[in-house]
Amino acid sequence: MAECAVNGDSDVLIRAEKFKEEANQLFKDKKYEEAVELYTRAIEANPKSSVYHANRSFAHLRLENYGFALEDASTAIACDKKYIKAYYRRASAYMSLGKFKPALRDLEAVVKVRPTDKDARMKYNACSKIVKQKAFEKAIACDDNKKPVSETINLENISESLGLYCSFYHPFSCMKLSRGLQNNIKKYLFIVKMIKTFIIKNNKIKGKNCRLSISLSVRYNPLCYQSPVKLSQKLDNKLTVCGDVHGQYYDLCHVFDINGLPSLDNPYLFNGDFVDRGSWSVEVILVLLGYKVLYPHNFHLVRGNHETDYMNQMYGFEGEVKAKYDGMMMQLFSEVFNWLPLSYCVNRKVLIMHGGLMEQDNVTLEDLRSIDRNRQPPESGLMCDLLWSDPQMQSGRGPSKRGVSCQFGPDITSKFLKHNELDYIIRSHECKNGGYEEQHNGKCITIFSAPNYCDQMGNKGAFITLRSPDLKPKFTQFDASIPIITISKKFHPEVQPMAYANSFMRM
C-alpha cells in the first residue's frame, strides 16, 4: 500500500488544491476520464491527501475501473483512517467486484462511527442482506442432482392455443426451419410486431409459454455448443458486429433503423453485455433471442461478462426479470447465458470476443474450444479473460483496472495473432467516446453500441461492417436519437437506468 508522503511547500499544496477543484467540476460535468487525470496531478503534488485519493476512487467507480477504485480508496484510508467517505468508496468497489464480506466490514466501520447516519445504516443493511443470501445459497448448493429448470418444463403444456406466439416459439423450432416459407413469414411478422409493441406500449410479452419457448429454443440450439464458432462470410456478404447494448432497447432499435432488420442477407453478431444497467434489458434479450431462433445461422450472440448471475443480481437484469416476469424465467435466462459461445472466428481471420486476450502466452483456438463454459465464470483462467480483460498502451501485461483478469499490450496482441494466424481481434466491454477505438496498430478494435451510456456519458454508439474477402472493418457511428419506428416525441419513457439494480448500487 502506498505511503502517504508529506509535502510542506505551500505553493505546491495550493496548486494541488486547484487541480482538485478543477477535477471536481469535470466530475460534475460527467467527464470522468479528464477528472481522473486532474485528480492524479493533485495526488502527485500532495500524495498525503486522503480526499484526493477518495475522489479519484469515486471517478474510477463511475468508469467501472473497480480495481483502481479499490486501490485508491485503500490508500485514502491509509492516509486517514477516520475519513469516512473512503470507506464508502472502498465498500462500493468491493461490492462491484462481488466481494461482499469485506464490503460489509467497511460499512460496519462507518456505522460504528456514525450510528445515527440513516444512509450508512441503509447501505449496511443492504450489504448484510446479500451476505446472508449468499451464505444460504452456498448451504443449499450441495444438491448435485438438481435438474436445470429447462429440463423441468413440461413441453406438452406449451399449448398451441397461443396461436402465432406458439407457432413461432415452440421449443426446438430453431432446428426445424424447413417447414416452409409461410411459417418463416409468420415468424418474421411476429418479431416485427414484438419490436413495435415493446417500443410503443413499453409492454412485456403476454403468455408464459411464449417467453419460455423463446429461451428454450436458444437453450437447445446446437450452434451454441461450439466456441469459438467458426463463421464463414460468403463473398459480397456483410456481417454487422455490434458491441454492448446494456438494456438500451431504443438504441438497439435505432441500429435496426440505420442498418436494416436482421435477415438472411443482413446477418448480425452482438458481442455480449446485452443486459444490465439499462432498464429495458428484458426487451433487448427477448428480441435478440427471437432473431436467434428465426435466423440461427445468420444471427449470432457472444456471451459478455454481464451475462452472469452475479452481475445480473447487482446491475439490474435479475430485478427487472422478476418485476416483469418471475424467478423461474431468470433461472432459464441464466441457463441460456451459460451456453452462449465465448468467441467467434470469422473466415479464419478475425477473432471476436467480449473482453480480450489471456493472461498466459501461447493460447490457441483449440485451447479456447476446450473451455468448459456451461457454468458461471471462474475468477481466473481462459474463460474469465475472454469476458473481462482489456487492452493497454504499454507492452506486456498489467494489473486489471477492473480488478479482474488483466490488461494486455500491443506485443501480446501481435504474438497471439501470429501464433494463431489471425489478422486482428474485435472486442467490446468498454465505453468509447466515439463508439469505437482502434488500438495496437489497428490489430485490436473495441466496439461499443450503447450511445449516451446510462443516459449520462454523452458518447456515440457504433457498429462494424465486415465484408469478404478482406474483412476490412467499416465503422458506422450513431447518436442516441429517436428511432423512426417509435413515432414518439421522446427518446424513451421516463425510466432511469439502473431502475431494477440492487439497492446498494443505486445509492
Domain boundary among 122, 140, 158: 140
For residues 133 and 249, state if they share a domain.
Answer: no
DSSP secondary structure, 189-252, as one string: HHHHHHHHHHHHH-PPPS-HHHHHHHHHHHHT-GGGG-SSEEE-PPBT-EEEEE-B-TT-HHHH
Domain boundary among 140, 174, 198: 140
Does residue 352 form part of some domain?
Answer: yes
Does residue 280 form part of some domain?
Answer: yes
Q: Are 254 and 481 in contact (CB under 8 A)?
A: yes
Does residue 305 form part of some domain?
Answer: yes
Write the CATH number for 390: 3.60.21.10
Q: Are 244 and 281 in contact (CB under 8 A)?
A: no
Domain boundary among 140, 160, 180: 140
Alpha-carbon distance of 169 to 153, in angstroms, equals 15
Write the CATH number for 32: 1.25.40.10
Query: Would you name the residues annotated as active-site residues?
Result: 306
Does residue 184 form part of some domain?
Answer: no
| pLDDT greater than 90 at residue 301 | yes
| pLDDT greater than 50 at residue 167 | no
For residues 135 and 258, state if they share a domain.
Answer: no
What mean pLDDT comes out for the span 166-194? 52
Could you read off the pLDDT of 350-366 as tens digits, one per residue? 999 999 999 999 999 99
Mean pLDDT of the chain: 85
Count of structural domains within the chain: 2
For residues 468 and 325, state if they share a domain.
Answer: yes
Q: Which residue has the higher pLDDT, 123 or 43?
A: 43
Query: Pick from 342, 357, 344: which is nearest to 440 by CA?
Result: 357
Could you read off the pLDDT of 452-477 as tens digits, one per residue? 999 888 899 999 999 988 999 999 99
Instruction: Please give the grid coordinates belonging to residue 347.
Output: 473466415
User: What predicted TM-score, i.e. pTM, was given to this entire model?
Assistant: 0.87
Does residue 223 form part of some domain?
Answer: no
Does residue 294 form part of some domain?
Answer: yes
Residue 223's pLDDT band (cuts 50, 70, 90)? low
| Domain region containing 63 | 10-140
For residues 130 and 267, state if they share a domain.
Answer: no
Strand-strand pairing, 268-270 and 299-301:
parallel
Instruction: Please give the grid coordinates belonging to residue 454.
Output: 446510462
Q: Are 47 and 4 in contact (CB under 8 A)?
A: yes
For residues 275 and 399, state if they share a domain.
Answer: yes
Alpha-carbon distance of 228 to 403, in angstroms, equals 26
Alpha-carbon distance of 358 to 341, in angstroms, equals 17
